[in-house]
Structure 1
Amino acid sequence: MKVTERLKKLRALMAEKNINMYIVPTADFHQSEYVGEHFKARKYITGFTGSAGTAVITMDSAGLWTDGRYFLQAGKQLEGTTVELFKMGEPKVPTIEEYIESTLPEKGTLGFDGRVVAMGSGQVYEEIVQKKNGSIKYDCDLIDDIWEDRPSLSEKPAFALDVKYTGETTASKLKRVREAMEAAGANAHVITSLDDIAWLLNIRGDDIEFFPLILSYVIVTMDEVHLFINENKLSTEIKADLMKNGVTAFHPYNDVYEEVKKFTAKDTLLVDPVRMNYALYNNIPKDVKKVEKENPCVLFKAMKNPTEIENIKKAQIKDGVAHVKFIYWLKQNVGKEKITEISAANKLEELRIEQGGFIRQSFEPICAFGEHAAIVHYTSSPETDVELKEGSLFLTDTGAGFYEGSTDITRTIAFGEIPQVMKDHFTLTVQSNLRLAHARFLYGCNGMNLDILARAPFWDNNLNFNHGTGHGVGYLMNIHEAPTGFRWQYRAHEVHPIEEGMVLTDEPGIYIGGSHGVRIENELLACKGEKNEYGQFMHFETITYVPMDLDAINPEMMSIQEKAWLNEYHKTVYDKISPYLNEEEKAWLKEYTREI
C-alpha cells in the first residue's frame, strides 16, 4: 500500500473508534532511539525513514515533526504522501504540543499507543486534552490493525559481556542502584530503558537495529530483582550467572504491565518520566507514592570505569587501523575503478571485521558523496547510490561495535582537486573540531557552556550547522548516550556537568544543499586536570586516531595554535596506527600526517 492508502485505512479506524487525532512517535516500548523492525510504525504510516520524528494524523491532515538532521531527507521522502513536514525549531513552526492544542476540537479524543509514548509526554498530552474537555485513548495500536505482515518481535539470543570488558559485576552495580534508591527515599525501581538494563545486567542482545540490546524490563527492590524477558533468549549459563549476581525471578516480557499493579500504598517507587512509557505508568496504582527522577544507571554507565576506558581505546585503535586502510584504498583507487557509496561502505565494514572482535555496525552508516553529503543523515540506497569521482568530497559517518566498545567517527575525504569553497568549509570544520577538543574548563561546566568554542569559527562567518556538536557514547550499547552532549540550545537531558570518564563526540560540520557537506568527528574522553584554589579543572583526551585529510586543508585560514594542534594530533595518529600497517600504507600515512 502507498502512504496515502495507509492513511485512508487509519482514518477509517479513527472514525470507528471516535478518535479525532492520532499520534505515532518513533519509539518502541522503551523509548529507544533506534528500534527493531516491528516498531517502525511512524515509517510505515508516513514513508519517512529517518531515526527521529513524530507523526500526528487528523481526519483531514497529517504532519511529521523532525529535527534539522532530516529536513532535506524528510522533504524528499514525504513528496506525494499528503504528509506535511514540520521543521522542529524553525521560526513560526508550532511544536507538536502547540499543534495538538490548536487543532484538537473541543471535547475531542486524542489517541495513541501508550506503550510507545513516554510517561512525561503522555502527561503533557493529558494537560492539553483537559483544557479541551476531551479524552485520551492510550490503549489502541491502530497501526497494528492496518499493518499487514508486520514483522514480529525479535527472538534472537542474548549474550553475556565478561567482566574483563565491563569492569564491574552486576552485584556491584545493583548495590550502587539500591544506594541511589535509598537516597531518593524509594524502596522499588522500575527500569525500562534497554541500555540501562544491558549495563546493569552485563548482557547484550540483538533486538534493536544496530544497538546490541535486548527487549526487557527490570524491577529492583531492596532485596529482589525481577527480570521480564523472553526466557528463550537466555542460555542456562547466563541465567545462572544472573541469579548468582542477584536476579531473583524471571517473568515473561509483557507481564510487567500486570506486575506493577501489585505495588501498594506502602511502596515508594522511583520512576524516570523520560524513560518509562505512559501505559506502564498508568498501570501503577494511584495510591503508590512516586519519586520522579532520572534512573541512576544513566549517570553510572556514562562515567566509564578504568577497564572500560582501556578497552575503548583498544577499539579506537582497531577502528583507526580500518579507517586508515580505507582512506588509503580510496585515495589509490577512486577514478581508476568504479567505487560507489554502497561499495565503499561495504569495504569499510570488511576492514573493520578484519580487526577482530567486531560484532556489528554501531548505527546505520552514512556514506555520502557530493551533494548527498549535504543531507545530514543521508542513507545510500540502490536508487540513490552514486559513483565516487574526483573533484568533490566524500563524507562517511560510521561506527563499529567491538567487544572492546563502540566507535563513532566521521571523516570527509577529498578526491582530486576540489573547489576552494570546499577547502575553506573543510578547514572551518577542522578549526571547530580542534578548538573544542582543546577546551580547558572548570568542573561543573556542561556542553552548553562549551559549545560556542566549536561554533565560533562558523558564527564568525555567519554560518551554522543544524545539529548538536556532540553526544555521549555508550559502551557497546546506545551510540547516543545521555546525560551530556554539546549543543547551544537547552535540552534537559544533556545538561549534566561533564564528568571524568565520560566519552563524547566532537562533530561539527557544514552543509550546502545541492553542492557538498563536511563533517569531522572524533571521540573525546573527559579527564581531570589540576585542582587548585579555583576548583577542579577538566580537559579532554582525543581517542580517535584517523588523519584529517590534508588534501582539503587551507592552511592560510589556520592560526599558528591551530596548526600546532593539528600537527600534534597527526603525530599521535601516526604513532598509534603505523605499527599495524604494511610498508605502502605506512608511507602513505606518514605523508598524510606530515606537519603543515
Structure 2
Amino acid sequence: MCVTLHFYQEVLHNFGTYIRQKWKGKILLPDESTFIDSVSFSFYNQVPASRLVFVESPIVRMKGRKNEVEIAGMKAANKRDSVALCEFLAFMEEEIHAGKEWDEISAAEKLKEFRAEQTLFRGISFETISAFGSNGAVIHYAPSNATKLPIDTSSTYLLDSGGQYLDGTTDVTRTMHYGQPTEFQKEAYTRVLMGAIDLADLIVNNNTVDMQLSLTVRQPLFTAGLSYRHGSGHGIGSYLAVHEGPTLISTSRRAGHLLEVGQFFSDEPGYYHGRDFGIRLETILLVTEASTQYNFDGPYMKFEPVTLVPFERSMIIPELMSSRQLWWLNDYHKTVEQEVGAILKSQDKQQAYHWLTKRTAPIRRAEVAPSVDFSGHSAGGSTIASVCLILLSFVAIRVL
C-alpha cells in the first residue's frame, strides 16, 4: 500500500516523525497556487530548510484536467442548469413587463426554485449576485435587505449565479435590460460580448498559458478606452469549488499555467460604469483538441461553450461586430436553440420555448461599410472584393 490513513489530529505529529526517522530525501511542500494558500506554517516548521522544496501541488493540475466521466457530467449539468436559467429569464421578462414587483433577493430565490427542479441539484455553487442598476456596478455585490433594489425597466440587471449538481458545477452570468437601454449601455454591452467571443473563438497550441489570453478578451474594450478591474476567467471544479486552479485568466499574477485538454474555465469580461450600471457576461468553456491543417509546435486546442444561455438582443449593436464575431454568435445561438429548446419543447414549457426561439434568431448587420475586426482583417472583405469584381467587369466591357 502507498497510502496510510490517520485521524486528522495525528497527521502533523506523524508527518514530523516520518521525515525525521524514515525519509531522508527532499520534501515537497505545496507553494501558493491559484485560489489555494501555501502549506501551513505548522507543516513547514517540521521540515529542515536543507530538505525543503516549494512547488505548486501536482494535485491542483490533476483536478483541473477532467477525465471523460467528469467532462460528460459537467456538460450534462451545465445543460440542465441552462434550461433552468432560460426558464427563469423567460418568466422574469414577462413578470417585469406585466408590472409585477420583484427585487434582487426575491428574484435570486425564484431562480433557485427553477434550479431545484433539475435532477441531481444539490444547491447553489455560490451566493447569487443579483444586481440591478447601480448595484451592478459593484463587482462582487451581494443583495441584502438593506441594499436590495426593485427590478424594473429603467436599467440593467446583472445576474451571476451557479448550481452544484452531483455530476458538475456551473457558473454563468448574463446581463439583461427589460426596457430601452441607452446607446452607451448598448455599446458597452456589445464590446463586452465581442471580447467574450474573441476568447471563445481562439485556437491555441500546447505552449499557451492562461494569462496570455487576457489581452484578447479585453481588446474590444481597450479600443474604446474602457476596461474592468477583475480577472477574465477562472477554473471550475467538478462538483467541487466553483473557483478552482490552476487556470486564472489575469495579468495580476506572477506566472501563468499551461492550458490543457479537459480543463473547464470561465470566460467573463465585464464593464462597470461609476455608480450607474454594470455589465458582465460569463460562459463556461471546455478546452478540447483542435484539428488543424498543419501541426507545427502543436498539438492545438480550441474552446467549446458548455453554458447554453442566449445573450440580450436589445443590447447588441451588430454593426460594431466583425463578420467572424457575428458568425460565432449566431452559431452559438443556434446550438442553444437546438440543445435547450429541444428540452423545453419536450417538457411542453411553451412560454420558455417561445422566449428562447426569439432570443436565438439570427442577428444580422447592414453592410453599409466595411468594418475592421480587432485582428486587423477587414470584416467586410467579401463585400469589397465583390465591388472590385463588378468595377473590373465594367471596365473590361468598356474596353471591349
Both proteins in one fold, TM over 0.5: yes
C-alpha RMSD of the superposition: 1.6
Task: Give the SS at the match of 2:299.
Answer: strand
Q: Contact 1:366 / 1:377 at 8 angstroms: preserved in 2?
A: yes
1:480-559 correspondence runs (5 A): 480-492=243-255, 495-530=256-291, 532-534=294-296, 535-559=298-322
Task: Give the SS at the match of 2:291.
Answer: strand
Task: Give the SS at the match of 1:380.
Answer: coil
1:559-590 deviation line (CA, Å, top 9, x unaligned):
22211111111000010101222122212211
Q: Distance in 2 between matches of 1:427 and 1:285?
A: 54
1:310-349 correspondence runs (5 A): 310-335=72-97, 336-349=99-112
Q: Which residue of structure 2 aligns with residue 234 of structure 1?
A: none
Match of 1:273 among 8, 27, 31: 31
**1:271–1:410 Cα change, 3 Å:** same
1:298 maps onto 2:60 in alignment: yes
Q: Which residue of structure 2 aligns with residue 256 of structure 1?
A: 11
Letter in structure 2 aligned against 1:491: R
Q: Which residue of structure 1 aligns with residue 392 of structure 2?
A: none
1:407 maps onto 2:162 in alignment: no
Q: Distance in 2 between matches of 1:570 and 1:393?
A: 21
1:205-237 deviation line (CA, Å, top 9, x unaligned):
xxxxxxxxxxxxxxxxxx443xxxxxxxxxxxx
Q: Distance in 1 between matches of 2:274 and 2:40?
A: 39
Q: Contact 1:260 / 1:283 at 8 angstroms: preserved in 2?
A: no
Q: Contact 2:30 / 2:39 at 8 angstroms: preserved in 1?
A: no
Q: Distance in 2 between matches of 1:283 and 1:425?
A: 51
Q: Distance in 2 between matches of 1:345 and 1:405?
A: 21
TM-score, length basis structure 1: 0.57
**1:448–1:249 Cα change, 3 Å:** closer
Letter in structure 1 aligned against 2:67: N
1:10-47 deviation line (CA, Å, top 9, x unaligned):
xxxxxxxxxxxxxxxxxxxxxxxxxxxxxxxxxxxxxx
Q: Contact 2:29 / 2:44 at 8 angstroms: preserved in 1?
A: no
Structure 1 residue 270: deviation in Å? 2.1
Structure 1 residue 282: deviation in Å? 4.0
Task: Give the SS at the match of 2:6.
Answer: strand
Task: Give the SS at the match of 2:240.
Answer: coil
Q: Which residue of structure 1 aligns with residue 203 of structure 2?
A: 440
Unaligned runs of 5+ in 1: 1-222, 226-247
1:143-542 correspondence runs (5 A): 223-225=1-3, 248-251=4-7, 253-262=8-17, 263-264=19-20, 266-268=23-25, 269-274=27-32, 275-286=37-48, 289-335=51-97, 336-492=99-255, 495-530=256-291, 532-534=294-296, 535-542=298-305
Structure 1 residue 256: deviation in Å? 2.4
Q: Distance in 1 between matches of 2:318 and 2:196?
A: 15
Q: Contact 1:261 / 1:283 at 8 angstroms: preserved in 2?
A: no
Q: Which residue of structure 1 aligns with residue 398 of structure 2?
A: none
Task: Give the SS at the match of 1:441.
Answer: strand
Task: Give the SS at the match of 1:540.
Answer: strand
Structure 1 residue 293: deviation in Å? 1.7
1:507-548 deviation line (CA, Å, top 9, x unaligned):
000001211000000011001113634121111111110000
Task: Give the SS at the match of 2:186.
Answer: helix
Q: Distance in 2 between matches of 1:577 and 1:366?
A: 24
Calculate percent identity across the aligned residue pairs: 33
Q: Distance in 2 between matches of 1:277 and 1:539?
A: 34
Q: Distance in 2 between matches of 1:556 and 1:533?
A: 35
TM-score, length basis structure 2: 0.84
Letter in structure 2 aligned against 1:497: L
Number of matched pairs: 349
1:587 maps onto 2:348 in alignment: no
Q: Distance in 2 between matches of 1:259 and 1:543?
A: 44
Q: Contact 1:264 / 1:288 at 8 angstroms: preserved in 2?
A: no
Q: Which residue of structure 2 aligns with residue 19 of structure 1?
A: none
Q: Distance in 2 between matches of 1:559 and 1:348?
A: 34
Q: Distance in 2 between matches of 1:249 and 1:533?
A: 46
Task: Give the SS at the match of 2:20.
Answer: coil
Structure 1 residue 441: deviation in Å? 1.5
Q: Which residue of structure 1 aligns with residue 385 of structure 2?
A: none
Task: Give the SS at the match of 1:389.
Answer: coil
**1:255–1:447 Cα change, 3 Å:** same
Match of 2:325 among 538, 559, 562: 562
Q: Distance in 2 between matches of 1:569 and 1:300?
A: 30
Q: Distance in 2 between matches of 1:530 and 1:420?
A: 40
**1:508–1:325 Cα change, 3 Å:** same
Return the structure number with greater relative CO, CA threshold 8 A, min gap 6.
2
Q: Distance in 2 between matches of 1:538 and 1:277?
A: 33
Q: Distance in 1 between matches of 2:264 and 2:254?
A: 18
**1:329–1:527 Cα change, 3 Å:** same
**1:259–1:415 Cα change, 3 Å:** same
Q: Contact 2:29 / 2:39 at 8 angstroms: preserved in 1?
A: no
Q: Contact 1:264 / 1:287 at 8 angstroms: preserved in 2?
A: no
Task: Give the SS at the match of 1:334.
Answer: helix
Task: Give the SS at the match of 2:130.
Answer: strand
Letter in structure 1 aligned against 2:176: I
